[in-house]
């Protein structure tokens, strides 16, 4: 029996397209093999970089040594390098040998005003000035691992650039923890200076190592992943008087106490918590100089966290309304100042769905887990406001450790198991390779 003309055409098309697909699949398979092998070969180098960075931490907008180390490394790899972006930021551009999209990878560089307590041969002994105070400095959030991982990714991809589709921007960002008082910095400043342009970035990927996630695991979430953050100040003004005769003045301390108690209802009674989480916390209250003087003024500092933009705006309105009205009821006044913070870290759902198989392929399906949203904040969100982004978490807790024993981030005992960094290198490489093919419809 002879096949019909239409059936014959179908078989010919099948064969033709099959032949077209074979080289692409083989090419990707070869790239996967090469990048996996190269990643494993430089693991010791990545750890060595991390230890050097850990021993020499630098505060926000002061990452001079770190920036120089990064820039020298990228130049040695033959990348186009831009320095001094948003004060101390460094950007490396790697052009692949094949046409394709522009993808960005980001690592934050700054350390924290924390004195290290971990007994390590490369523990930080650095002291510095922070807002007028002498402080210890420590990489107490893992940014040293982020920098070392991205330096490793740049080296791996530079060695396979002839077979790489598109362009990769390596963004080494200063001041994620917030610029010093009176200064600008961080992702917002980098975006304003055009880091996502020339060439224009199509998608951006970022990671954060986590001291309470087991090594070998990746955690992700589509949509709102980390909260927005706004700091605020409330200045309560009363009338100073002697402590023995409070009726002759207006007590801003008692008024402030009532404001604090009333602010607890902003979340518990005015926020739709079945939609998303929210937090309002007062972290500082100061007023007065001695026991028998009721002061004229009290100042409070606090933070707002939200995972929904509508809820964030409503919380701000309630804080202003409650503070001013409670103060008014006591004969005092309250001024509420809301400072601009970070937006919600929002993982583009379509990008997340598209790249999830890549993370699962490199990490193992059982090791890539969906997570709940968290009320910490990240200025990676400023990049995501401009282009689709995916931000995920990398395990940094020892296999024999427990969450209860692992020190949280931003603490003197913060510790990272360095064996978790290799997965970060591999994951970034796989995301770059696969994004180009998925955009072309080849995967």
Distance of alpha carbon 341 from its chain centroid, rounded? 14
> Which one of 220, 342, 346, 391 is the catalytic residue?
342
Q: Which of 269, 272, 265 is nearest to 312 (CA)?
A: 272
Is 342 catalytic? The answer is: yes
| Distance in angstroms (rounded) separating the CA atoms of residues 26 and 34 | 12
| Distance in angstroms (rounded) separating the CA atoms of residues 221 and 378 | 14
- The length of the chain in residues reads 443
| Distance in angstroms (rounded) separating the CA atoms of residues 59 and 108 | 11
Q: At what angle do helices 421-440 and 43-55 cross, to 10 degrees?
A: 120
Please identify which residue in the block is written with the tokens 């807790």: 397
Instruction: Measure CA of the first residue to CA of the last residue in the chain; give whole Å.
Output: 36
- Tokens at residue 384, please? 């995501």
Q: Which of 82, 64, 84, 65 is nearest to 74 (CA)?
A: 82
| Distance in angstroms (rounded) separating the CA atoms of residues 171 and 79 | 12
Contact 128, 50 (CB under 8 A): no
Distances (CA, A) of 5 to 8, 10, 17, 245: 5, 9, 18, 105
Distances (CA, A) of 282 to 200, 238, 267, 344, 362: 41, 20, 13, 21, 42
| Distance in angstroms (rounded) separating the CA atoms of residues 103 and 99 | 12
Q: Which of 196, 169, 173, 194 is nearest to 185 (CA)?
A: 173
Is 418 catalytic? The answer is: yes
| Distance in angstroms (rounded) separating the CA atoms of residues 399 and 401 | 6
Contact 342, 228 (CB under 8 A): yes
Contact 105, 429 (CB under 8 A): no
Q: Which of 123, 149, 121, 126 is nearest to 49 (CA)?
A: 149
| Distance in angstroms (rounded) separating the CA atoms of residues 207 and 9 | 48
- Tokens at residue 92, please? 């490396």
Alpha helices in 222-371 (DSSP H): 252-268, 309-329, 349-363
> Which one of 63, 276, 378, 418 is the catalytic residue?
418
**Catalytic residue list:** 342, 418
């Amino acid at each position: 029996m002879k096949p019909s003309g239409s059936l014959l055409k179908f078989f010919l098309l099948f064969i033709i397209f099959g032949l077209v697909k074979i080289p692409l699949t083989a090419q990707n398979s070869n790239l996967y093999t090469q990048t996996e092998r190269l990643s494993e070969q430089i693991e010791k180098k990545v750890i060595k970089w991390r230890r050097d960075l850990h021993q020499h931490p630098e505060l926000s907008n002061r990452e001079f040594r770190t920036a120089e180390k990064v820039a020298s490394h990228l130049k040695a790899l033959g990348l186009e390098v831009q320095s001094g972006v948003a004060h101390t930021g460094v950007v490396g551009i790697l052009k692949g040998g094949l046409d394709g999209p522009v993808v960005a990878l980001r690592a934050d560089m700054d350390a924290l005003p924390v004195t290290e307590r971990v007994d390590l041969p490369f523990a930080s002994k650095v002291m510095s000035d922070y807002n007028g105070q002498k402080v210890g400095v420590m990489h107490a959030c893992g940014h040293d691992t982020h920098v070392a991982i991205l330096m490793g990714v740049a080296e791996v991809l530079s060695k396979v650039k002839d077979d790489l589709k598109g362009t990769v921007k390596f963004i080494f960002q200063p001041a994620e923890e917030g610029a010093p008082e009176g200064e600008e910095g961080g992702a917002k400043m980098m975006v304003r200076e055009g880091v996502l342009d020339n060439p224009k970035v199509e998608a951006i990927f970022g990671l954060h190592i986590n001291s309470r996630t087991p090594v070998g695991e990746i955690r992700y979430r589509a949509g709102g992943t980390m909260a927005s953050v706004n700091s605020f100040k409330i200045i309560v003004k009363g009338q100073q008087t002697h402590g023995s005769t409070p009726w002759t003045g207006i007590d801003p301390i008692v008024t402030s106490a009532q404001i604090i108690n009333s602010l607890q209802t902003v979340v518990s009674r005015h926020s739709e918590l079945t939609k998303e989480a929210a937090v309002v916390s007062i972290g500082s209250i100061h007023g007065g100089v001695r026991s028998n003087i009721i002061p004229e003024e009290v100042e409070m500092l606090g933070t707002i966290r939200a995972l929904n933009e509508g809820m964030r705006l409503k919380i701000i309105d309630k804080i202003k309304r409650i503070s001013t009205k409670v103060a008014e009821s006591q004969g005092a006044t309250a001024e509420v100042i809301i400072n601009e913070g970070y937006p919600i870290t929002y993982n583009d759902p379509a990008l997340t769905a598209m790249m999830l198989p890549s993370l699962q392929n490199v990490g193992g399906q059982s090791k890539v887990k969906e997570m709940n949203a968290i009320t910490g904040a990240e200025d990676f969100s400023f990049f995501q406001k401009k282009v689709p982004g995916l931000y995920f978490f990398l395990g940094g807790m020892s296999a024999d450790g427990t969450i209860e024993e692992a020190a949280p981030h931003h603490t003197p005992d913060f510790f990272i198991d360095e064996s978790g960094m290799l997965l970060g290198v591999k994951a970034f490489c796989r995301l770059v390779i696969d994004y180009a093919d998925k955009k072309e419809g080849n995967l």
